[in-house]
């Protein structure tokens, strides 16, 4: 694989990870689901949640996000290891928000990813979301959801 092909693959994977965060923030469930391979898996161990395939992932994110009054996710790039038509990587996530029942949360998390090249480009084969720090102190500020914009 040439340096140019390697660079292009890395850019496509970074774009995939950026699309994930944007889809979450905009509550674009169809777009988020389309980022996963047909047999892709999204796991959130702390929520005891595991979704397989785009339809289940779409339904799962909609159900989870409906519990939030507002939600902000910021992603920070991590490592990517390319292995031909597959790759693995990490992304670092910060989230804050308030749930509809009044509970608040601020967390720092790690996403452990596996990616697969498909005919439609790079997709998530697996994304495992691991919370590393959680603060449930009530947030002092106010927010709004994308629907309010």
Summarize pLDDT for 9-40 with one digit per residue, the tens. 999 999 999 999 999 999 999 999 999 999 99
What radius of gyration do the chain's Cα atoms show?
16
3-state class (DSSP) for residue 119:
coil
pLDDT at 140 (0 to 100): 86
Q: Is a pLDDT exceeding 80 seen at residue 73?
A: yes
pLDDT at 1 (0 to 100): 64
pTM of the model: 0.91
pLDDT at 2 (0 to 100): 84
pLDDT at 149 (0 to 100): 52
pLDDT at 108 (0 to 100): 98
Relative to beta strand 121-135, strand 36-44 is parallel
Bigger pLDDT: 145 vs 140: 140
Q: List the beta strands (DSSP E) in the chain.
A: 36-44, 49-52, 68-83, 86-99, 104-118, 121-135
Instruction: Tell me the domains of the chain and their CATH numbers.
Output: 3-148 (3.10.450.50)
d(CA 145, CA 97): 10
pLDDT at 65 (0 to 100): 93
Query: If you ran DSSP here, which 8-state letter would residue 141 be given?
Result: S
């Amino acid at each position: 694989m040439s340096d140019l092909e390697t660079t292009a693959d890395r850019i496509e994977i970074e774009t995939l990870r950026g699309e994930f965060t944007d889809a979450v923030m905009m509550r674009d469930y169809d777009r988020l689901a389309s980022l996963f391979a047909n047999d892709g898996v999204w796991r959130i161990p702390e929520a005891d949640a595991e979704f397989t395939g785009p339809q289940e992932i779409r339904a799962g994110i909609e159900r989870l996000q409906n519990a939030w009054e507002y939600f902000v996710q910021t992603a920070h790039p991590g490592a990517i290891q390319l292995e031909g038509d597959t790759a693995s990587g990490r992304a670092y996530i910060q989230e804050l928000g308030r749930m509809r029942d009044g509970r608040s949360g601020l967390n720092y998390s790690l996403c452990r990813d596996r990616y697969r090249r498909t005919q439609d480009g790079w997709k998530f084969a697996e994304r495992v979301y691991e919370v590393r720090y959680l603060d449930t102190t009530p947030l002092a500020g106010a927010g709004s959801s994308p629907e309010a914009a």
